[in-house]
Structure 1
């Protein structure tokens, strides 16, 4: 699919994650080749990985439990890195890591810089330019609420007097605008700013998916309490792959995911990554299931 710079920048600007906040797309987008040209230059992704024995993945510093980089050793760990290492082993390859950001991940995929990006939400805007695997897990939307606020439903938060913080451009932001249209939304630049707004009393609650809220409260118990309002609303977390004529690589990843999910390995990767940042099984509310 060929797109002009304005269309591509608009699409990428809408993409967000969890913890996963989107960043502005730079003017260098114009230099990004189309999926078709990238494929012609290097063959299909599956063929390239099998011939080079290299699986190129992204790494994002400071996004635990998804990605963690040890400053002293340079070693990577976390949920997404556990998956990357296992997928590479299954393909008889080695992992090659490129540092990036959530906001640049889609562009890195389309340009052929990386082969797969773990931990992406399959938003419609992203799906126009890359493809997604089957869900890795379902991530529950939660809030971290100020002391004394324990809403039982999302409707209780959908009032003008409720000040709800989100990190701008993220899936938290998109979720709040869809589910809480009547609340007073505080769209802040980063997840940290959104979280601190609750601790400072500027906001009543911050919206985060469970993988992030568990880590946030563990690191700073004074920020507030995790609440899971009803009804439970979850979003899929997938892996993104480059759009190309051959579907061989995406099909392989889907089969690999299904094998590991059905045997409980994916759940083990999730709990192990949470334990890296101090979150134990007993810290996870019963309503939250991955």
Structure 2
């Protein structure tokens, strides 16, 4: 028979065990929490974690297998290699393009791959050297006559863009005389081309290749002259110690010289069925 004293002893042991477990969990959280004034580089080296944002459904940049939870894609390949170089592991936090800058500011992530260095973003985060230059392309039927941006810069040319995007800003600056069919989302812009409301659609190459692969009846991807592109960079937190940004810059240049960046891009495009022969001649990443 178990006495009251023995029961009290067992309860005491259970409570003590719970306190120890709770303390261990709290300590693990504390070990991964940023120390006051700690730089991003020092935090990664201490925690052995490189935290990045992952965005569902943005192939070839990010892809999440909903069955297994595994991530892949161009940005994930880069993050995995960078983490290995830093003797750390990748930790992926699901987010959105719009929230990624806020995640950097709040120290939820350490780096965001695939950001365009717009002036408004540069007010609150810092950018590395370019990962690549993403060429502006158009999607149109094969018999579409425009071969240059100047050919498109006419009122009779109906050009689809998604409002507020880099495509929109580029079009307003480069072809101000064209009739812009400016729509709320990229999908809406694609539908306007499909329905005949627009003559062509402007997208950067990494997106236009995917768009046409998903819907070949839209037309084909072409590169108007002169070739125009925008840089795609990594965003990092503003830090008095610039060592992490400098490290990423050096890592980018090293992998560019090896040809690794292009290999990661080509490999990620295969996630959506795009092979190297599908890439228009003259398109450089």
- The answer for the alignment partner of 2:17 in structure 1 is none
* CA-CA distance at 1:57 after TM superposition: 0.0
* CA-CA distance at 1:208 after TM superposition: 0.4
State the secondary structure of the residue aligned to 1:104.
helix
Runs of 4+ aligned residues of structure 1 deviating over 4 Å after TM superposition are none
- The answer for the alignment partner of 1:201 in structure 2 is 196
- The answer for the alignment partner of 1:226 in structure 2 is 221
Say which of 60, 72, 80 aligns to 2:75.
80
- The answer for the alignment partner of 1:140 in structure 2 is 135
More helix by share: 2
Distance 1:275 1:198 in 2: 25
Q: Is the 8 A contact 2:34 2:43 kept in 1?
A: no
- The answer for the alignment partner of 2:149 in structure 1 is 154
State how 1:1-290 maps to structure 2 within 5 Å. Answer: 41=36, 43-290=38-285
State the secondary structure of the residue aligned to 1:193.
helix
State the secondary structure of the residue aligned to 1:257.
helix
> Structure 2 unaligned runs (5+)?
1-32
> Structure 1 unaligned runs (5+)?
1-37
Moved more, 139-148 or 223-232: 139-148
Q: Which has the larger radius of gyration?
A: 2
State the secondary structure of the residue aligned to 1:80.
helix
Query: Aligned Cα RMSD in Å?
Result: 1.4
Normalization by structure 2: what TM-score? 0.86
Q: Is the 8 A contact 1:56 1:116 kept in 2?
A: yes
Q: Is the 8 A contact 1:146 1:199 kept in 2?
A: no
